[in-house]
Chain A
Amino acid sequence: MKSLFGKLTPGYLISAVAVILLAVLPVAGMPRSWTLYILLFLIYLAMSNMWNLIAGYSGLISLAQPAFLGLAGYTLAICSWVNVPWWAGMLGGAVVAGIFAFLVSFAVFRLSGVYFAIGTLVVPEALRIAFYLWRPVGGSLAGGGAGYTVKGLSGVGIQDLYWLALVIGLASVIIVRIILRSNLGLALAAIRDNQKAAASSGVNTFRIKLYPFIIGAIITGLAGAVFYMYQPFIEPISTFNVKWTMIILLATVIGGMRTEGGPIIGSIVVVFLYFLLANYGNYSLLIQGIILIVIMLLSPQGIVGIASKTGLYRSIFRFVRRPLRDYRTGPSLPHDS
């Protein structure tokens, strides 16, 4: 008990309070629009966290993320058409995304650096055409293409989706945290910094890179499935779309690539941006592109980078990391009595 208290820091307390607050907000009379904002934030958070893991920490600039969330969404939709319950469809979607990532890795993992990025860009494009041509169930649609409404969601309210997204978003944060502090995280850093040196030190580079890629695909798939329950219609053009990649990239880059806090801050900014730019729909990609370039050039580590440069981050960090035990003996703290 004592050792547990010794490890307890304000950081954990703040996170716990934030999570509890997020969890009870929808039943505490939060406006419905805010529920939607936070739902979207949590979905983006899970996706950008996974991209940060793949691209930031593993050095694999994957542009294939829409493939994973789209495949999961399609699995969910198709399952709902053959009367599989939604939760099984969602888990099935995550499994399909994971298996697909495994299969695709044989082609794209032979590429390094810049080649990898564009190799992965081919994947959602190919899937878009495939799903445009192929309609697995439900007969042919007038005009071709495979658009589906997700059925069987009558028992699932917006609050249930919200909590589901909260669990997935939280899981993504915890998974990244665990991976970075494990041997896997160490091996990933070694590969990112120098793949040849890592390989000659006995790191199985193919397998080590495969883990975050597949984990990323599964979590991205889960988040995608939740999104397509929230917006229960799926069709190939908007699903396997580079706009998803843009959102994920933007959230990670604005917040701070290769920082744990980055995707959290970045996702909040992106959700705000999304609603701010809603009135300028025609220009939204243009503005997002400019923001992406400006942030990348001025502060490659995003907002977290700016905060750490100004010293703000360090003081927050120090406060958040210092065990609570120390505060009891600290002389100048107000709650000390």
Chain B
Amino acid sequence: MNGEILNPLVIGVLIGGLYALIALGLSMVFGVMRLINLAHGDLVILGSYLSYFIWTSLGLDPILSLVLTIPVLFGLGFFIQQFLMKRAFAISSEAPLIIAFGIALIIQNANQIFFSPLSRGISTSYSGQSFFLGLHQFPVYYLMDFIVALIVMLALREFLRRTYLGRAITAASQDSKAAQLMGINTKTIYGFAFAIAMISAAIAGTFLGMTFPFTPLSGTQFLMIAFGVVIIGGLGSLFGTFMAGLILGLVQTLAGYFLGAASQMLFVYLAILIVLAIRPQGLLGR
């Protein structure tokens, strides 16, 4: 194999893991509440900014800062579901969508006000380090993205299978009426489902901030990537989500390699639109 092409292939697979992690929360909210959370990308970026803020003001390592950002986003997710979305669902089918759009713009604008519109990035003592694959050298944070994505996904799977709350969430997503009859308080369960999705968003945000530069407007871009992952991977399968992340990561890095970095996102969007046109139920979906 040509050594040059190894570079985009490896990086594509590794950031694909990050994309899957970003999509995880979107997929969960959609799977449980049938809501495409248009604010998901901006919530992830909010996580990046919170980590950045803690890193610059307290000097805390971004991974340690998760101790603080996870509760904030957990609470925010619970609040959004219990105080806004719960009412919106009772109004009409488009109301939650419009409200999510409003939340997205509020977070975007708030990020702009508090953290300025400048592009930011989190760099740590280990972000300059690299690992070797054969003769090639790769930044170590790409590998961290991939490993963390795997850990979070496995943890979420075990959580959904083994704990009461996890099983209740699964039950509510499969048949909310039957779950209610079994004595599950679905309204609270929805709140926790949204909040747990936001935990994954907080983790994704921190690692996104260590991997890519981000601005308050980056949310839309990552919402689209997350949506692409959900579309390609199909719903309900963590394996599908993971594979879809890898596919989109590879599309991006290979398009960047062959056609120039400026057009790489265009090809990601085109890939999403083509999949929508050909197989709306997802490449890997049922």
User: Chain A interface (Cβ within 8 Å of chain B)?
Assistant: 55, 59, 61, 63, 104, 106-108, 110-111, 113-115, 117-119, 121-123, 125-126, 129-130, 132-133, 144, 242, 245-246, 249, 253, 257, 282-286, 288-290, 292-293, 296-297, 300
User: A residues within 8 A CB of B36?
Assistant: 114-115, 117-118
Contact residues in B for A245 (Cβ distance below 8 Å): 101
Proximity string of chain B (67-80) to chain A, C-beta cutoff 8 Å, 1 when within and 0 when not: 00000000000000
A113-B220 contact given A129-B269, A289-B106, A293-B103, CB 8 Å threshold: no
Q: How far is the CB of A213 from chain B (nearest CB, A)?
A: 15
Q: Is B174 on the interface with A (CB-CB < 8 A)? A: no
Cα distance A284–B108 when bound, in Å?
11
Instruction: Determine if B102 is an interface residue (Cβ-Cβ < 8 Å).
Output: yes
Interface residues on B, range: 35 or more
Contacts of A144 in B (CB 8 A): 262
**New A-B contacts (15) at CB < 8 Å, excluding given A108-B276, A257-B94, A289-B103:** A59-B93, A114-B30, A114-B35, A114-B97, A115-B280, A117-B38, A119-B276, A122-B224, A249-B98, A285-B108, A286-B106, A289-B104, A289-B109, A297-B84, A300-B92
Contact of B220 among A114, A123, A242, A296 (CB under 8 A): A242
In angstroms, Cα B256 to Cα A129, docked, is 14
B112 interface residue per 8 A CB criterion:
yes
Does A129 lie within 8 Å of B110, measured CB to CB?
no
Segment 39-81 of B: residues with Cβ below 8 Å from A: none
A285 and B93 in contact, given A122-B273, A125-B224 (Cβ under 8 angstroms)? no
A113–B94 Cα gap in the complex (Å)? 8
In the complex, A296 Cα to B96 Cα: how many Å? Answer: 9
Tell me if B's interface is mostly helix, strand, loop or mixed. Answer: helix
Q: Is there contact, CB below 8 Å, between A106 and B277?
A: yes
B92's closest neighbor in chain A, by CB?
A: A300
Known interface pairs A110-B277, A246-B105, A296-B88. Does A282 touch B93 (Cβ–Cβ under 8 Å)? no
A to B CB contacts below 8 Å, 30 in the list:
A61-B94, A106-B277, A107-B273, A107-B274, A111-B280, A114-B35, A114-B36, A114-B97, A115-B36, A118-B223, A119-B276, A121-B223, A122-B227, A122-B272, A126-B269, A126-B270, A126-B273, A130-B266, A242-B220, A282-B109, A282-B113, A286-B106, A286-B109, A288-B105, A289-B103, A289-B109, A293-B102, A293-B106, A296-B95, A296-B99
Interchain CB contact (< 8 A) of B262 among A104, A125, A133, A289: A133
Interchain CA distance A130-B34 in the complex, whole Å: 32
CA of A70 to CA of B94, assembled, Å:
25
A133 CA to B274 CA in the complex, in Å?
A: 20
Residues of A within 8 A of B274 (CB): 107
Interface presence of B87 (CB below 8 A):
yes
Chain A residues with Cβ below 8 Å from B99 are 292-293, 296-297
A279 to B103, CA, bound (A): 22
Q: Which residues of B contact A246 (CB under 8 A)?
A: 101, 105
* Bound CA span A63–B98, Å: 10
B residues 126-170 in Cβ contact with A at 8 Å: none
Asked if residues B98 and A286 are in contact (CB atoms below 8 Å), the reply is: no
Q: Flag if A133 contacts B266 (CB, 8 Å).
A: yes
